[in-house]
A and B are shown apart, each in its own frame.
Chain A
Amino acid sequence: MVITKIAIIALYTTAAMFVGILFMGIGRKIVARVHNRVGPPVYQGFIDIAKLLTKKTNISHGWIYDLALLFSITGIILTILFLPIGGVKLLSMEGDAFLVLYLLAIPALGFALGAGASGNPNAAIGVMRALVMMLSYELPFVVTLIALMIYYDTSSIAQIVEMQRARWAIMIPPFVLAAAVADMALQGMLMEAPFDIPIAPHEIASGPMAEFGGKHLGTLMIYKAGTIVAYTTLFVDLFLGGGVVMYDGSLLAHIANFAVWFVLIFIVFTLSLLINTSFPRFRIEQAFKFYWKYEALLAFISLIWVYLVVIS
């Protein structure tokens, strides 16, 4: 019993990482089609990572710099372990939404340490902008998260997915507003334009990745693939029912749930890509004001709406 559980967990985590790397390639293809050109093949993400990991020389700036490598993959795999994917609760009964929120910060911290240890001033400025952006998008996001928690009276993501069996959360009126706010926050989390401020190639020489090459950059790409899956899965689990359509636990149910989950995160990711291709980049203070003035206002409106619904 334990062996099958561990096998399922390993299988789903590996599948999630594969889906993430696949999405990186699919993303480039979609952007290329919007630009009216052909674009790379959809398996391009795998080739990029293979090329980076098979480079013949790799440089390093010390042991603190290598911490970035260790923390990033550890953090993102640990986060995926605590999210329900396609209805399979991997380890998510052992932790809740607050744990996931803080686990998402471990790889960011690792990269901050690595970028700081590389000594490049561009990297430090990039990390500063990344942290300020994290502060900005967290406010509307946690407000919508609290709205969900108050409505469903639980803080565990697996419970929220369970409770959306009858109706997806997005079909309840106050949560339409909350989902829109969370989608904008997702844009910041995925670091897609207009919020790709920290990794801007032309302004600060790609920010924290300025001194990363070879295997360090390869792990950064694996981390990016993991974040795509983690953030979109978080959004789908919270608002779109987690992609669970069949509940009987059979093999067919697992396959159907996985397929529906894949389609849902593909839709969310495509939406963010389309916004990516249409907008230029913000400045960091514009992003900060956007999140803390307008988004926060909308989020608080939805929170008060939910609160009034709950106490009546």
Chain B
Amino acid sequence: MLEFIFAALLIAAFVTLFIKSGRIAAIISLIASVMPLVAIMGWANEFGIKTISFGIENSMNFSIAGITMHLSITSFAWFFAVMIFSLLPPIFLFSYSFFEKNNGFFPFMLFLVTAVFGILLARDFLTLFFFWELMAASSFILVYIGRDKKAIMSYLAFSILSAVLILTGIALLYSQNNSLLFSEVVFNSDIVTVAALVLMIAGFAVKSALMPLHAWAPFVYSKADEPFVAFLSGGVSKVGYYGMFFVLFALPGAKILQQYFNSNIATYLLAVVGAISAFIGTLLAFMEDDLRKLLAYSSIAQLGYIAVGFGIGSSLAIAGALFQAFNHAFFKSVLFLAAGAVAYRTGKWKISELGGVGYKMPFTFMAALFAIFALAAIPITSGFAAKWLLYEAAVSNKYIFITPIMLIAGVGAFLYSFRVLYGVFLGENRHDDIKEAPLPMVAGMFMLVMPLIIFLIFPGYMLDMMHSALVNAGIGTISHTDYVIRTGMASYNTLAVVIGMMVSMIPAFLIYVLRKQKKVDFKDNFLAGEPYEFYGYISMHAANNFYKPIEDVIMPYLRRGALSFYTALYNIMGRISNALRKIYTGLSQDYTIYIIIFFFIIVGWLIW
């Protein structure tokens, strides 16, 4: 069964390499990406609800040149697989209209999908690393298509860094156990194992853009094609968190770290790093003018919440983290796709140049509005349930520094959400000649918004889906019914919120309906009596330097950050390499002298 899926994906990838038209390639990719999703959904009865261990009995094995790779599904991998693969059909539907010519997006996306599928199904370290490298290679080529030097170089550097860290961790573990299979790894708490675990977590954290390893994210997210960036921030970052979940909770990494340090200090550090990511990512987000960079920083911030959940480690926290991962995959993809739709129609990226797009593209606006409601964790969407679980977990474990930072990051999400909404979609209408985005794009975006609405009313279904993942990893469960979640400290009843909202809407609706109103033109606005047409250069769009007061206060403290560290490192390496380069002078006399010196060194070494 698994062989068919892999074969289908690879065949589709190779076929789309040679197709020039974007539309046909999109249709082929769409069909090819639906198949894994159907297969995964079909496994729901077997893997979603029951518990299963991760032995290799019913796994599929590849043997190439005497090396065997084992692939099978486990229940927590199933949860991540559902999340990531549900993103694909809407993204390919979107890219049907986005790409007219096939510029290499489709084949390498299919390679990327294959690689992600392989990572989720890996049963030994070699398979994991092989597919990790495949994922890095195919995503690198997709970034290369964007043709921006900084993006390409930073992504390459950080991909290599993550690969090296993971490989070192695997090597250290192999040196202890002499076997690469997951089920045969034996853990004793000594320094080698701890070092291996820390290195592997760091390697996975690079892909998930956790501070301070996040420096590639703003460059890459702003300079690649939108559907790819939607999958990158929605899907690939979740693969990094799958790796972290796997190391911490499936292999008993958290317990090892706790035993070694005799306290929770290591996972607490992970939670602190996540909280700082959330906080500083939010602060940096609302100073950006470029729409995609703003969404990149917001991605870094929202992903930090997941690390906090993993760091706290109780069942509430992990459930909240997984729920947040699920929500993030969907709302971030919708936002990047909406940005792509807006750019497709207007051709502009900067918020200060856009404006009033929402009046002409109402469906894009509604999809983006729902996604922003989920991002800001408004209680009428499912984004709130995830954050609620995280807050409850943090307070019940009495983490007094992480909780305020998380809450402030949640409030800060309103700030940059409003900047996106007002700067791009509302405000002065400067683009009178654009039409709504093409139907496949709108359909793709709405398909991604659906789960956010479904799980708003019934968070219990989501918790059921996570149930086997949590149990399989040895963490407890959470008491819940279909729409009530109960923790030790309080309970949250979504049905009450929804019914309360319906009832509260009645007075507002009565007032709205009973008093008639007249629509006036946008230009009939209060400008102290001045007519709008009088001065041709009045701009009523206050979107430039929107948050200048707070920027002036905060920027002095944020000038030295991870980015300046990396830039300094880059400059130092550049200078060292430049100095070393001077050996190659190009004159044959110098090369002769080098050979003679080297010959004498070898002779001298052989003698002594």
Contact = CB atoms under 8 A, between A and B. Distances in A.
Interface of A: 53, 55, 57-62, 64, 66, 69-70, 72-75, 77-78, 81-82, 91, 93-99, 101-103, 105-106, 108-109, 112-113, 116-122, 124-125, 127-129, 131-132, 134-135, 138-139, 142-143, 146, 149-150, 153-156, 159, 205, 210-211, 214-215, 218-219, 283-285, 288-289, 303-304, 307, 310-311
Given A53-B515, A74-B501, A95-B497, A211 B526 contact: yes
Nearest to A132: B550
A139 B405 CA distance: 8
A99 B487 CA distance: 14
B584 interface: no
A214 B515 contact: yes
B540 A116 contact: no
Contacts of A96: 489-492
Contacts of A150: 395, 398, 400
Contact of B546 (A69, A128, A155, A205): A128
B415 A285 contact: no
Nearest to B524: A59
Interface stretch (B11-19, B229-237, B238-246, B419-427): B419-427
Contacts of B379: 99, 102-103, 106
Contact of B414 (A82, A109, A215): A109
Contacts of B549: 129, 132, 283-285, 288
B547 interface: yes
Nearest to B391: A98
A135 B517 contact: no
Interface in B466-524: 484, 489-493, 496-497, 500-501, 503-505, 507-509, 511-512, 515-520, 522, 524
Nearest to A117: B426
Contacts of B410: 102
Given A74-B508, A143-B404, A124 B519 contact: no
A283 B549 CA distance: 9
A37 to B, nearest CB: 30
A149 B403 CA distance: 11
A78 B504 contact: yes
A154 B552 CA distance: 39
A120 B507 contact: no
8 nearest interchain CB pairs? A96-B490, A94-B493, A77-B504, A116-B426, A121-B542, A156-B490, A73-B508, A94-B496
Contact of B507 (A77, A122, A159): A77
B359 interface: yes
A205 B525 CA distance: 12
A90 to B, nearest CB: 9
- A96, A102, A112, A218 interface centre (most CB from chain B within 10 Å): A102
A62 B359 contact: yes
B486 to A, nearest CB: 11
B411 A91 contact: no
Nearest to A219: B511
Given A109-B378, A112-B422, A121-B542, 4 more contacts: A95-B493, A98-B388, A129-B549, A156-B491
Given A59-B520, A139-B404, A74 B504 contact: yes
Nearest to B523: A119
27 contacts: A60-B517, A61-B522, A62-B519, A69-B511, A73-B507, A74-B504, A77-B507, A78-B501, A81-B504, A97-B490, A98-B388, A102-B377, A103-B379, A105-B376, A118-B525, A119-B427, A128-B418, A134-B414, A135-B412, A139-B404, A146-B395, A149-B489, A215-B515, A218-B511, A284-B549, A285-B550, A288-B553
A257 B131 CA distance: 66
A127 B550 CA distance: 14
Contact of B421 (A70, A113, A129): A113
Contacts of A219: 508, 511
A4 B359 CA distance: 46
B428 interface: yes
A154 B392 CA distance: 9
Contacts of A72: 508
Contacts of A117: 426
B189 to A, nearest CB: 27
A210 B380 CA distance: 28
B596 interface: no
Given A60-B519, A113-B421, A150-B400, A132 B408 contact: no
A69 B512 contact: yes
A199 B540 CA distance: 19
Contact of A132 (B358, B415, B542, B543): B415
A99 B426 CA distance: 28
A195 to B, nearest CB: 14
A304 B401 CA distance: 10
A181 to B, nearest CB: 13
B452 to A, nearest CB: 16
A304 B226 CA distance: 46
B82 interface: no
Contacts of B398: 150, 307, 310-311
A231 to B, nearest CB: 16
Interface size, B (range): 35 or more
A229 to B, nearest CB: 14
A121 B530 CA distance: 14
B345 interface: no
Nearest to A67: B369
B400 A146 contact: yes
Contacts of A66: 512
Contact of B404 (A73, A124, A142): A142
B554 to A, nearest CB: 9
B384 interface: yes
A217 to B, nearest CB: 12
A70 B553 contact: no
Contacts of A214: 515, 517
Contact of B426 (A60, A77, A113, A156): A113
B313 to A, nearest CB: 19
B284 to A, nearest CB: 14
B395 to A, nearest CB: 5
A138 B528 CA distance: 34
A94 B358 CA distance: 36
B541 interface: yes
Given A103-B379, A307-B398, A61 B519 contact: yes
Contacts of A99: 379, 384, 388, 492, 497
A142 B493 contact: no
B462 interface: no
B511 A149 contact: no
Contacts of A210: 526
Interface in B565-597: none
A30 B541 CA distance: 40
Given A94-B492, A132-B415, A215-B517, A116 B421 contact: yes
A116 B519 contact: no
B367 to A, nearest CB: 14
- A72, A128, A284 interface centre (most CB from chain B within 10 Å): A128
B407 interface: yes
Contacts of B550: 132, 135, 284-285, 288
A148 B403 CA distance: 13
B403 to A, nearest CB: 5
A57 B518 contact: yes
Contact of B508 (A69, A120, A122, A139): A69
A71 to B, nearest CB: 8
Contacts of A142: 403-404, 407-408
A180 B274 CA distance: 31
- A62, A109, A143, A215 interface centre (most CB from chain B within 10 Å): A109
B446 to A, nearest CB: 18
Contact of A60 (B404, B411, B511, B520): B520
B411 A138 contact: yes
A138 B407 contact: yes
Given A59-B518, A105-B378, A132-B550, A127 B508 contact: no
Contacts of A155: 391-392, 395, 489-490
